[in-house]
A and B are shown apart, each in its own frame.
Chain A
């Protein structure tokens, strides 16, 4: 194979044509997304189905959701480098790559989402420090830089690159100080994950989103950070599992997964308890104070009370309970069910905090607002998925992402 020198030693990869076919498929989807993106930049946001009532829609949800599920990166960093769970080194590379993908996409989506992309830098230059979005933008960019730095040594471990002494040393030295970056990442993540919670929580004109007193600060901020820390690892596990299925080999030892899942389970449980307290206070104190009953917020056929049940019980308590029990974790069906539910749960939470906030009528004489994304919105939201598949495929093929791969899949 002509690309052999690029492939890490001691592992087996699929044939070039297989890989090319796979990449072509992913690239086609990517191209569709890029086409939609160019269309939007060229013609403006009239290419979307957003409107004045739905100024925030699919994209902002996608942003919030991918940042949440990309939270596996900072949290595994936190566990590995700060708490000292060294086993997690076996999955942290992958978590960083997923994080990198998620955050680069989040920034890209923001760049598509704004009406005047060429003025996007105003958010930094003319920053309003009171705005949650400013905080998000700053931390997001900084953390993306951190993730890039965390990703670089991994890239440099590509056999071909690693042969250059300069790059080899660079990689080595960067690994050495990775703990500092991990800590920085954790610090930044606490900020922007929390701020993302604030994005909706501070909207005191939106009774569905608004939280008062400690339930905005630090509660909502905390909830967002915590849920990202809880469900991010689940997404990392999920993507690892998918990668294993596709490559038809085990890449990470089950013990590592189990540990990650267990921690995640406890995080989910604690998060969902806090979320429940928040919901109860909001439903029985905050909302009635503004003239709303809980059921007013769930009075639409789309947004019925089932959503709240799904978010808290089905995708909250249930996965949490599965993951904290040993038997649940060890049963691979239950484990994956819990992981998937947890990921859905956090995405649903972000959906509710964006889409439902817009849908709820604030005036007694208004009806529920409905919104259905245009194909351009869908395409640009699918774009990150295709991009993620491409990056992961390349990374897996050419980089020693999984330290345990050789051990688990000896080449005879």
Chain B
């Protein structure tokens, strides 16, 4: 055994979402629902009690016809590294019962449904609304329980859940690697369900620390940005867009501020 916890080789799994490629089709959402046993109700139109681990927002540039533009913005859990990259993500530090923690090996923020007792402090802490509460007991009508995946535990009423970056896929990939006596996973061995489901390939997933992974290069694009970077949440989900208004919509700026300069300033602090 003696598999020591080695922070040097730690991975930082992250995502780069190309908003110019995202067509808003919703395949990522459906892919996620079916991968992660996300329940559904007869009425899901109140988006504030609808469980989505990745939610596609529709934003517009606000200009009148015919200069209107629309951009779709898929938002999974940002898996924030938090201030100082120490796993001090907004939610992890507030959970009173350690039902959510930061995995230093992967950089993934967990959510343990059986530990959570439903105080919802983490939801108050998360500016991305990535965390969803199980207001109801989940119900799968007719024979639908039969399609539930054994790799993700169905949640009970009264607990918080959120995107796990399909951590169970990492677990299964690790199983295979152990079996084949390998230390490292290949890039394509561990992909999230949304990245796989995205029919336009807008979502790229990989280890942000690994120079050979596609995300490493993409995140350094001049068109890359993260949501609400100024809050110093340090998310691991990056976005790409060649549209200025889209990049500006990703954060809050005072009238005179220029996003690119602010971004530089914020990143210097990290």
Contact = CB atoms under 8 A, between A and B. Distances in A.
A122 B112 CA distance: 13
Interface residues of B, number: 54
Interface in A92-149: 113-117, 119-120, 122-123, 126-128, 130-134, 137
Contacts of A202: 93-94
B127 A205 contact: yes
B118 A116 contact: yes
B121 A126 contact: no
A132 B121 CA distance: 10
A288 B265 CA distance: 14
B124 A55 contact: yes
Given A122-B115, A205-B228, A291 B251 contact: yes
B42 interface: no
Given A44-B137, A290-B252, A114 B94 contact: no
B117 A122 contact: yes
A291 B157 CA distance: 37
A309 interface: no
A305 to B, nearest CB: 18
Nearest to A293: B254
Interface string B152-187: 000011111000000000000000000000000000
Contacts of B25: none
Contacts of B227: 363
Interface stretch (A45-53, A225-233, A322-330): A45-53
B219 interface: no
A191 B36 CA distance: 41
B213 interface: no
A364 B156 CA distance: 33
Contact of A133 (B119, B135, B253): B119
Interface string B115-151: 1111111011111110111111100000000000000
A132 B230 CA distance: 23
B233 A205 contact: yes
B260 interface: no
B103 interface: no
Contact of B125 (A51, A203, A293, A363): A203
A375 interface: no
Contacts of A126: 97-99, 115
Interface in B214-233: 227-228, 230-233
B26 to A, nearest CB: 18
B254 A54 contact: no
B94 A132 contact: yes
B49 A51 contact: yes
B95 interface: yes
A52 B131 contact: yes
Contacts of B96: 123, 127-128, 131, 133-134, 137
Nearest to A125: B97
Contacts of B57: 365
Interface in B1-58: 46, 48-49, 57
A293 B253 CA distance: 9
Nearest to B101: A128
A202 B59 CA distance: 29
Given A51-B46, A291-B251, A45 B158 contact: yes
A187 interface: no
Interface in A283-305: 288-293, 296
A206 interface: yes
Contacts of A65: none
A291 B230 contact: yes
B133 A119 contact: no
Contacts of A290: 230-231, 252
B123 to A, nearest CB: 4
Given A55-B124, A114-B119, A207 B94 contact: no
The 7 closest A-B pairs by CB, nearest first: A115-B118, A115-B158, A291-B252, A55-B120, A205-B127, A55-B123, A51-B48
Given A45-B133, A363-B227, A365-B57, 16 more contacts: A44-B135, A52-B131, A53-B129, A55-B133, A114-B119, A116-B117, A127-B96, A128-B97, A131-B121, A204-B83, A204-B232, A289-B230, A291-B251, A292-B254, A364-B249, A369-B48
Interface of A: 44-46, 50-56, 113-117, 119-120, 122-123, 126-128, 130-134, 137, 199, 202-207, 210, 288-293, 296, 357-358, 362-365, 369
27 contacts: A44-B136, A50-B120, A52-B133, A54-B48, A55-B131, A56-B123, A115-B117, A115-B118, A115-B120, A115-B157, A116-B158, A116-B159, A117-B117, A119-B97, A119-B118, A123-B96, A128-B97, A130-B93, A133-B94, A203-B90, A204-B233, A207-B231, A292-B254, A363-B127, A364-B252, A365-B59, A369-B48
